Chain A
Amino acid sequence: MSDTAADPRLLRAPPKRGLRLSWADERFRAIIWQVLIVGVVAGVIWWLVGNTRHNLEVRRIATGFGFLTREAGLPIAESLVPYTPASTYARALLVGVLNTLKVAVIGVVLATVLGTLIGIARLSKNWLLSRIAATYIEVIRDLPLLLQLLFWYTLMQTLPGPRQAMHPVEGVFLSNRGLRLPWIQWEDAHSFALLGMVVGIIAAVVYGRSARAKQMQDGQPRKIWPAAVGLIVGLPLVIWAAWGAPFQGDIPALRGFNFQGGMSISPEYFALLAGLVTYTAGFIAEIVRAGIQAVPGGQWEASEALGLQRGKIMRLVVLPQALRVIIPPMTSQYLNLTKNSSLAVAIGYQDIVSIANTTLNQTGQAIEGIAIIMGVYLTISLSISLFMNWYNSRIALVER
């Protein structure tokens, strides 16, 4: 290949010639085809839009996003931002988006962990463990997710009521109202400490990179972890202490109908999360298994011959190679999990689909409601794709 490429005669571009208005000219045909197809698509869209406008007019359905500023009047059970039924539709939809993100982000993390564990278990030398993992993967992947979610939700409802709640440790209650955990009373100091931690993590990453760059220059390995711990743990602690180290426990207790105080995980959220995580983990396990198996055994042997320890082989040799196989299908699993979280509507978790659906029902704004749902998911999907593409290109083989 390099021989022919070096031949200057073959590097020359084909001679340019003018466009002929004849069916025999390939470029002319291409232009006609494109104009034709784009024209047909545009025509169909124009027809649909025309019909829609006519229908909206005939049925006297108002269009536009004006309804967003109207009072929603719909009750929402869990929300990350303050919300009352007197809030606007815009705010209700924001709550929905945040709820979707809440289940997607935590779901992705947990599914990755569980999926990796099952994938490794699948490769275990222990026959029983490997068989159970294989059965799990097969069964989970062959049942519709919606059925699994309904099953989880039915299961959550068989838990005892709040007055007979399971009470394994002081302050922890498990009932059909969900899981209640002790938490701290949130104050400004905690918010600042959290902010400090984010800053600390960024600083630790920057420090780690510069240390690595120096190591590349002089070959001297540097210890990164003391500074990292100091930045990630120490900094927030200092900030917290500077604000007077407030610490007030918030222990849940049964008052009236329900538990009050503490942190709560609702059965709807739990059922959705459990269903999504166990389902996606089945797919991730297969991806992880295939990824690890894709690294040839020679890599292990060669690394051992170099005298590397087992942990280091995994971390420095096998995993980076396996990741290249794993990342692209993993990305699509993350996307699937996010999109599948829309099934929340079937079990009563109020994500964006559920809330947009109710909004659409109450206002009759079908087009706007569905546009909002699609817009939100497209944004999330594109963000995940972009991030994973960036990560993928970072770890890709640098070929010279």
Chain B
Amino acid sequence: MSDATLHAPAVSADTPSRRPPITVVGPVAWARASLFSSWLSTAVTLALAYLLARWIIGFVDWAFINAIWSVPVNAQGAQTQACRALQGAGACWAVITEKHRFILFGTYPYDEHWRPLVCVFLFIGLYIVSAMRRFWRKELALIWAGVLFLIGFLMWGGALGMPYVPQERWGGLVITLILSTFGIAFAFPLAVLVALGRRSRMPAIKMLCVVYVELIRGVPLISLLFMASVMFPLFLPEGMNIDKLLRAQVAIILFAAAYLAEVVRGGLQALSRGQYEAADALGLSYWQKTLFIILPQALRLVIPPLVNTFIGMFKDTSLVLIIGIFDLLTAGKTAIVEPAWQGFGIEVYVFVGIIYFIFCFAMSRYSQGLERGLNQHRVR
């Protein structure tokens, strides 16, 4: 101790500064504070850790250790006896190995699968471009129009050496993407009009918009799809008829527009009155005011809920299963109709679920990040 007093200034410079006790910082302290802070907390941690470990071990056993990845396929079809012998102790991923192209692309001609594959990547690219703030300009609409046009061209073909593929052969993931993306793309302008109409001072137009929004939001999507599937052909004049996929698409657009309209209305309401008054003071007409002052601000405000609505639409397109359109989920279910593969539903659901999850998770993460970014000014 006396040494220390003698060389006090030198020592403090040479010896490394002492770490704080491990009970204050570091992993131990963290664990104490966030896992074992009280008796109750400790009990909860232990119980959860036990259950989690058991579940993970069971899952790894099922999904990897005991799993079968492929089975022989001969002229009589797939020989799935090995999978059946597992009796559920392990996953039969062979069904995915054998059927993944059918699940992803449905009944699209086998040799032309690259076309829907390119379309899937185009869709993903479109999402990524739309997600970047530097592209949030009016030109984005042009990009959307161009890409959607290109996707339609690729899917139908009929030129540049690509054989024509009628839309009843389209299927799988690309249908899910088409229904949700085209659904939003066409619902969006309609939704903006309806939202403006609902805030309009003209009573008849306001009434129409209110009735439309409340009517659609009051019924399940299934009933609209049934309507599209069974009733819609009765609405058209004799001899004219519209493809099943387009009918479902129309139902989804009408459905999405009602929900989007409410989102947009939220943005319009959130805008301060001063913006409207200032625009009026400048002597702008209604459409000038709306297009150049109100909408650009209001739409920016509603981008996070917009993304959430899109996630909802993306998931809801799976309902077309009920009217027999081959989207991702329907293709997955149809893949296990073949007698050899009956009974391997869980594997297919897991596969399909992972695809849905990847898309939705990416979008929801993005929406959360965006919300934080847009709310930055509010955070102290």
Binding site for B on A (CB under 8 A): 30, 33-35, 37-38, 41, 48, 51-52, 54-56, 58, 125-129, 132, 138-139, 141-147, 150-151, 154, 158, 335, 339-340, 342-343, 345-346, 353, 357, 360, 366-367, 370, 373-374, 377-378, 381-382
Contact = CB atoms under 8 A, between A and B. Distances in A.
A154 B345 contact: yes
B322 A346 contact: yes
Contact of B35 (A41, A58, A128): A128
Interface residues of B, number: 55
B204 A144 contact: no
Given A125-B37, A370-B223, A38 B237 contact: no
Interface string B310-321: 010001101101
B45 A34 contact: no
B223 A38 contact: no
Given A51-B238, A144-B318, 11 more contacts: A52-B234, A58-B238, A127-B34, A128-B45, A144-B329, A151-B349, A151-B353, A342-B223, A343-B222, A357-B226, A370-B226
B353 A147 contact: yes
Contact of B220 (A30, A125, A353): A353
Contact of A339 (B88, B219, B226): B219
Nearest to B34: A127
A143 B357 contact: yes
Contacts of B218: 377-378, 381-382
Given A129-B44, A342-B222, A382-B218, A366 B231 contact: yes
B357 A342 contact: no
Contacts of A353: 220, 222-223
A34 B238 contact: no
Q: Which 7 A-B pairs have the closest CB atoms?
A: A142-B360, A127-B34, A381-B218, A339-B220, A342-B220, A144-B315, A34-B204
Specify the main secondary structure of chain A where it touches its partner.
Answer: helix
B360 A55 contact: no
7 contacts: A38-B208, A55-B234, A126-B45, A128-B44, A144-B316, A366-B231, A367-B234
Contacts of B227: 370
Contacts of A145: 315
Nearest to B319: A146
B48 interface: yes
B217 interface: yes
A366 B353 contact: no
A147 B356 contact: yes
Contacts of A374: 219, 223
